Amino acid sequence: MATPDAPPLHPALLTDRYELTMIAAALADGTADRDCVFEAFARRLPHGRRYGVLAGTSRLLEALPRFRFGDVELATLREQGLTDPRLLDWLADFTFSGDIEGYAEGELYFPGSPVLTVRAPFAEGVLLETLVLSVLNHDSAIASAAARMVGAACGRPCIEMGSRRTHEEAAVASARAAYLAGFASTSNLEAGRRYGVPTTGTSAHAFTLLHDEEEAAFRAQVAVLGKGTTLLVDTYDVDQGIRTAVEVAGPELGGVRLDSGDLPTLAAHARELLDELGATGTRIIVTSDLDEYAIAGLMAAPVNGYGVGTSLVTGSGAPTMGMVYKLVERDGVPVAKRAEGKHSVGGRKRAVRRHDEHGTAVAEVISSGAIAPEDGDRELVVPLVEGGRVLADATPVQALVEARAHHERVRAALPPEAWALSRGDCAVEIVTP
C-alpha cells in the first residue's frame, strides 16, 4: 500500500494504448527519431466563455520525471498484448530528452493559444499526449470555471468544497486549480498538505441530527471550535436556528451557514435577525449548488462568502476546455491537419499579449512567423524544460503561490467586458498575422 508521500502508482500507464502502437510502428519504419514539434491548444472556448485560465502546468512538470516504464509497467504491457521486443526495449530505456515551452501557469488563453509546445523525437513527443491533455484539460476547466465564480463574487471569498462530487485525486487537483484562480480555501485536507491550500470546515446537518436538541449540537461545536465558528442554522427552522446560535455563542458568533431554500430572501432575513440580536459582525455563508449565475444573483444579498462544490468540479459547471495535442512541425517543416472542423495550423507558434496605453489587454497575437513588436506587448511563451531537465525548482506549494499571483496580475489587465457572464466574444481580439 502506498504511503501518503508516495507518487501515484505507475504514472506511465495513465495513457492511451495507441501512443504505444504508433511508437512501435515508427520504430519499425525508422521514423521514431524524426525531430518533431507538438502543440497543445484549444480550437475554441466553451460556449459563452470569454477566456480560459491555464492550470496544471506545474503538476505536469512534477509528473514528467516519474513517467517511466519499469518492470511492473512492462509486465502490464505484455499482459495486455503489447509484446513487440523493440517497443519494450525502447520503453525500458525511455526518459524524456526534449524541450518544452509554454504559457506560465495561471495565464489566460484563447482559441489557438500555444499553451504548451513539445519539441522532441517523434516517439518521445507522442508518448506525452495523454499526460499533457489529461492534466491541462482537467485543471484548466476547473480554473476557468473558478475564475468566473470569483469574478461574480466581487471580492467576497469563495470556498471550494467539491470533494464528494468527483474522483478522490480529481478532488485534490480541483482544489488546487480553484485556489489558483482566486478561491480563498478548500475543504480538502490533501490539497492543504500537498499544495498549501488553506483548509476550512465546520459541520454538516448530520452533526445537528446526532444530538437530541439543536442547542446541544451548537454548544458542542462552540466548545471545540470557539465562538468564531460558523454554525449551520437551517436543519430545522432558520429563525430558531439563528436565535439558538446567538444564544449559545453570543454576539461574537463568527458566522451562520445557509444551505437550502430561497437564499437571497433567507440571507436578507438572517441579516436582519442577527442585527436585531446584536450579532452585527456575524458573517452569513451560503452553500447549495452554487454556480457563477447563482453567485451573481446573490450580489445584492447580505452574504459574506460562498461555498461551491458540484458546479465547480463537474462538467455541468466546468465544461471541458477541448485542448488538443497536434504535430505541427516535422524536421523543421510545418505540417497541419486539414479535416473540416478540426484543422490545425502548421509550424511552431509564437504568441504575445498586446496591451493599450492604459495597460488593458486588447489582443492575443499568435503566429508561426516573427511578430513585429509593439509597445505594450508581453511575450507569453516561456521555457519550461530543456534537454529533458525541468527548469523550475520551486516546491509544489511555491509553484501554486506563483501561479496564483501571476493569474491575479494578468486577470487585472482584462477589459471590463471580460467579466460579463453573458455570452459574447473573446475578451481580446485574436490576431493571426
Q: Where are the domains of the chain?
A: 11-142+319-431, 166-313
Predicted TM-score of the model (pTM):
0.94
Q: So what's the pLDDT on residue 5?
A: 53
| Domain 166-313 class in CATH | alpha beta
Give the CATH architecture of domain 11-142+319-431.
Alpha-Beta Barrel (3.20)
Do 326 and 39 meet the contact criterion of CB atoms below 8 Å apart? yes
Rounded CA-CA distance 335/326 in Å is 10
Do 282 and 274 meet the contact criterion of CB atoms below 8 Å apart? yes
Helix (H/G/I), strand (E/B), else coil: 324: strand
Q: How far is CA 248 from the centre of its chain?
A: 39
Do 242 and 266 meet the contact criterion of CB atoms below 8 Å apart? no
397 phi-psi bin (left φ>0, alpha ψ -120 to 50, beta other):
alpha
**Mind listing the pLDDT tens digit for each residue in 20-57?**
999 999 999 999 999 999 999 999 999 889 999 999 99
Distances in Å between the Cα of 127 and the Cα atoms of 21, 29, 304, 348 are: 10, 17, 47, 19
Q: Which amino acid is at 294?
A: A
Beta strand spans in 22-62 (E): 35-42, 52-53
Q: What are phi and psi of 416, to 5 degrees?
A: -55, -35
Residues 6 or more apart whose CB falls under 8 angstroms from that of 116 comprise 39, 40, 57, 60, 100, 101, 102, 103, 132, 136, 384
Element (H, E) at 61: helix 57-63
Q: Which residues of the chain carry a pLDDT beneath 50? A: 1-4, 6
Q: So what's the pLDDT on residue 315?
A: 77
**Mind listing the pLDDT tens digit for each residue in 396-429?**
999 999 999 999 999 999 999 999 998 889 999 9
Residues 6 or more apart whose CB falls under 8 angstroms from that of 35 comprise 119, 121, 330, 331, 332
Side-chain-side CA neighbours of residue 43 (13 Å) = 12
Do 309 and 164 meet the contact criterion of CB atoms below 8 Å apart? yes
**Mind listing the pLDDT tens digit for each residue in 72-113?**
999 999 999 999 999 999 999 999 999 999 999 999 999 999
